[in-house]
Amino acid sequence: MLPTPQKFTLLAGSAEGPTRLNAFDNALLRAGIGNVNLIRVSSILPPGAVEVKHLEIVPGSLMPTAYGTITSEIEGEVISAAVAVGIGEDGQYGVIMEFSGRCDRKQAEETVTEMATAAFKSRERHLARVLVQATEHRVGRIGCAFAAVALWY
C-alpha cells in the first residue's frame, strides 16, 4: 500500500500538439507535471494535507493525481478543464472535484465549485473554503486542456 500523501498542489495547462497524445503531453508540460507518471486517483484529499505552490519531483516518479482533461480537433472550439479542492474543518479530509468540457474557463470554474459544494453537502459537512485552478484553450489544430490536483509525500 502506498503511504498517504501529505502535500497537494493545484495545476492547470493547455496546449496544442500534432496528435491527441502530444497535445495531452504538452498540456502536462505546461501544467508542470509532464515528466512524471500520473496515477489517476479518485477525489479525496487526505486529512491534514498541506497546499504547496510548487512540487519538486524527480522525473519518472509515480504521482497520485486527480484530474480532468479534454482534447479536441475542432478548430476554433473553446475547451476548458478545472479542479476544485473543498476544504472543511482543520485536520479533516477534503474533497477534490474535476471537470472538463466545451465551455469557457469561467463556466468550468463555476461548475467545479458547485461540484465541491455538493460533495460536502452530500457528506453533511461544513465547507470552509474552495480552491480552484482552471485553464481555457481555443483549439488550433489539436488542443488539450488539463487541470489537476497532484498529491505528494
**Residues with active-site annotation:** 37, 42-43, 98
Q: Is the dihedral of CA 6, 12, 16, 20 positive or negative?
A: positive
Domain membership of residue 2 (yes or no) is no
Residue range of the domain that includes 64: 7-152
- Partnered with residue 135 across adjacent β-strands are 81
- Whole-model pTM? 0.96
1 domain residue, yes or no = no
Copy the grid coordinates of residue 98: 474535476
Residue 78 lies in a domain: yes
Q: pLDDT by residue for the chain (153 residues), tens digit each?
A: 778 999 999 999 999 999 999 999 999 999 999 999 999 999 999 999 999 998 888 999 999 999 999 999 999 999 999 999 999 988 899 999 999 999 999 999 999 999 999 999 999 999 999 999 999 999 999 999 999 999 998
Angle made by CA atoms 115, 11, 150, in degrees to the nearest 5: 80
Total structural domains in the chain?
1
Report d(CA 50, CA 54) in Å as an integer: 12
